[in-house]
Every structure is written in C-alpha cells, then in structure tokens.
C-alpha cells in the first residue's frame, strides 16, 4: 500500500477546508485508516461505526482484538450518538477537561458502534482531543473516530509524524504531519460508570486534577498489582518498549553508576535514561536526557522520543532513573514500568 503524506500548518484558523484535511476525511469515510496528531500522541484513526475500518486498525498495529479502542469526537453533542446514561461525574469531568487529554468510560449506545471498537463490552471510551488538526479531521468526516496510538503494538507511542512513518509507512492509507505533540503521554482514562470515578490509565490529567473537580477518585488496582487484569484501552499488553531490555533503577547516583560499570566490564554497551540535572554525574555508552526532574511534565513530553531514540543506538541494555508518582509522575512511571516489563533493581539499604 502506498501511504499518502500530508503536512498541515497548525496555526491556520480554518483547517476544515484545507485540501489535506478534506482528502484525509474522505479516506476515513471510505473506511480507510489515517494517522493524525493529537495533543498527547499521534492516533491511528478509523470509522468507529465500521467493522471494516476497525479491523484495519487492529491489523496495522498488530494489536489483539480483545483490546478496546478510544473513540474520538469533535464536539460534546457527538457523545449522545455513541453513549447513554451519562453520570453527573462524567458531565463535570467533560466540562472541566474537554477538549483535552481525558478519556471517559461511558455506557455505550446499543447497536451503534462496531463491536470490534468496544471489544464486545457494554461500555465505550470517549475523548475530545485538544488539537486543531484532529478536531478538523473529525468534523470534516462527520464520524466518531476510533484511534489508538499510531505505532506497532508494544512499541513506544509516536509523538511525531516521523515515528508513525517508521512504524506504519506502506501499511496505512495516510499520515497527517501536524508537528510534534505536546503532552507526550496518552490521555488519562477514567471509568465514570460507577459511584466513584476510577482512574484506569494515568495520563496528562492527574488524579489531583480530577479530585479538584469531582472530589474522591480511585485508582484501578491493576496499576499497582501486576496480577490484576487492566480494564483500560491500551493497557492490557506489554507497551512502550524499545528493542534493548529496560531496567528501572531505584538508588543513589553512585549506585546507579556502579550498575553501569558492572555491565560495561562484562562487555555490554549501556544506555541510560536520565534527566538534565543528572547528566554531569554519569558515564555510560549512550546517555539520553529526558526532561527535567524539577518539572515532570517535561519528562512526560520527552519520554517516548527518548525510548525510540535508543533504537537508533547499539546499546545492549537500557537503565532508567525512576520518578515520584505524584501528579504526572504516576503516568511516567506507569509507562516506564511497562517498557521495562516491571524489571526493577533496588539499592540495598544499610
């Protein structure tokens, strides 16, 4: 398949009439799949009402079909087309954070969406992205768009059109290049079908943000217990991993350096994911800074770019610093734990 490539200037006030947007929207109406930028990561979009389009998404990603997809909309009015019985909590969260990096789990409208999109569940994950290109494409095609991240399943999510091209060129109908994304990690997913909202996947909207709007919010047990089955789209299987094995290091700088030295003495090339503040303190074969520890949103923004950058090196092993889990740190550590397949090394306490 020949993949079409379009570049779109995000600064243009009216994107809906752009020929690139019109051409991409027409392909979506023909049940083809197209990658486009959102404020979190690039999404791989297809008609959420079509089994054919949904099947193409799963095939392109190599994603198991029991993993539901998030449905993207361009206006709050579209919610009524795909969901019913919205709770007051859901309404308040949508009012506070849409458009933005928040996905809400709602009771689905019967006999409307493709069963592949919802993986046969009675619920649907819905969000309205805060990106002019994404919104323009969804408006132009007039459809709810199912869109997981636009990467091969298990690989780091794409934060630029180049990442999408690396994974899916020749596999999908088109890629819209709208520049690099902003947040850098996927949306927060909140189950709003119960009495208390439950965070199924941490992301750009933090637990603290949510509780400031609706009061108490719970965290899904699967985020802290490997034996629990995740309920969120995109969280069921191994994700975000570069080619070399990743290990999370919990310890002092001197201890981290000693772990690096041990591997190098065994002839292995070692990569290190660190922060700008700690760059001067380490020596390794490849050291990549991932934002600043004093502003974890910069770490979230750079995380997937850095994980992908290690694939362009010849390192045999990747060590990563770890981060506090308050605020957006919860999302960062969730992604790093999955990238590392939950492999931790801890400094022994005296």
In the predicted model, what is the mean pLDDT of residues 14-32? 92
Question: In the structure, what pLDDT confidence band is assigned to residue 270 with cuts at 50, 70 and 90?
Answer: very high
What pLDDT score was predicted for residue 152? 94
pLDDT in tens, 189-242: 999 999 999 999 999 999 999 999 999 999 998 887 656 555 566 555 556 789
Beta pairing class for 70-72 and 123-127: parallel
In the predicted model, what is the mean pLDDT of residues 132-145? 97
Question: In the structure, what pLDDT confidence band is assigned to residue 350 with cuts at 50, 70 and 90?
Answer: very low
Residue 267 neighbours by CB distance under 10 Å: 7
Sign of the dihedral defined by the CA atoms of residues 55, 57, 60, 64, in that order? negative
Residue 32 pLDDT > 80: yes
pLDDT in tens, 302-342: 999 999 999 999 999 999 999 999 999 999 999 999 999 99
Based on the number of CB atoms within 10 Å of its own CB, is 255 exposed (0-12), middle (13-18) or buried (19 or more)?
middle
Provide the terminal-to-terminal Cα distance of the chain, rounded to the nearest Å: 59
What pLDDT score was predicted for residue 224? 72
Q: Are the beta carbons of 208 and 188 closer than 8 angstroms?
A: no
Q: How far is CA 262 from CA 202, 268, 270, in A?
A: 34, 9, 10
* Cα atoms in the Cβ-side hemisphere of radius 13 Å centred on 304: 29
Question: In the structure, what pLDDT confidence band is assigned to residue 82 with cuts at 50, 70 and 90?
Answer: very high
* CA-only gyration radius of the chain, Å: 20
Q: How far is CA 257 from CA 205, 242, 272, 323, 336, in A?
A: 34, 22, 10, 17, 20
* Beta-bridge partner residues of 274: 289
Q: Is 200 helix (H, G, I), strand (E, B) or coil?
A: strand
Q: Are the beta carbons of 24 and 3 closer than 8 angstroms?
A: no
DSSP 156: P
């Amino acid at each position: 398949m020949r993949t079409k490539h379009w570049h779109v200037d995000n600064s243009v006030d009216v994107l809906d009439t752009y020929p690139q947007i019109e051409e991409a929207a027409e392909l979506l109406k023909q049940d083809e799949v197209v990658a486009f930028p959102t404020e979190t990561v690039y999404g791989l979009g297809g008609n959420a009402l079509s089994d054919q389009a949904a099947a193409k998404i799963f095939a392109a990603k190599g994603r198991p079909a029991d993993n539901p997809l998030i449905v993207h909309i361009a206006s709050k009015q579209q919610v009524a087309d795909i969901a019913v019985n919205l709770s007051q909590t859901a309404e308040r969260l949508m009012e506070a954070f849409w458009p933005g990096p928040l996905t809400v789990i709602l009771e689905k409208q019967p006999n409307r969406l493709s069963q592949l999109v919802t993986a046969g569940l009675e619920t649907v994950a819905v969000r309205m992205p805060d990106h002019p290109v994404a919104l323009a494409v969804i408006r132009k095609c007039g459809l709810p768009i199912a869109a997981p991240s636009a990467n091969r399943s298990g690989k780091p999510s794409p934060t630029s059109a180049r990442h999408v091209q690396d994974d899916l060129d020749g596999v999908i109908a088109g890629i819209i290049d709208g520049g690099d994304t902003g947040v850098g990690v996927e949306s927060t997913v909140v189950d709003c079908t119960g009495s208390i909202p439950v965070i199924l996947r941490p992301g750009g909207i933090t637990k603290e943000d949510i509780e400031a709007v609706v009061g108490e919010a719970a965290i899904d047990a699967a985020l802290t217990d490997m034996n629990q089955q995740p309920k969120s789209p995109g969280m069921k299987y191994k994700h975000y991993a570069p080619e070399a094995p990743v290990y999370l290091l919990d310890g002092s700088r001197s201890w981290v350096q000693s772990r690096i030295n041990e591997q190098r003495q065994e002839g292995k090339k070692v990569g290190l994911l660190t922060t700008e503040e700690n760059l001067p303190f380490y020596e390794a074969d490849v050291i990549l800074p991932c934002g600043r520890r004093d502003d974890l949103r910069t770490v979230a923004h750079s995380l997937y770019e850095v994980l992908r950058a290690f694939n362009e090196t010849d390192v045999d092993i990747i060590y990563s610093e770890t981060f506090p889990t308050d605020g957006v740190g919860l999302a960062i550590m969730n992604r790093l734990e999955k990238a590392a397949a939950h492999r931790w090394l801890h400094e022994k306490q005296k």
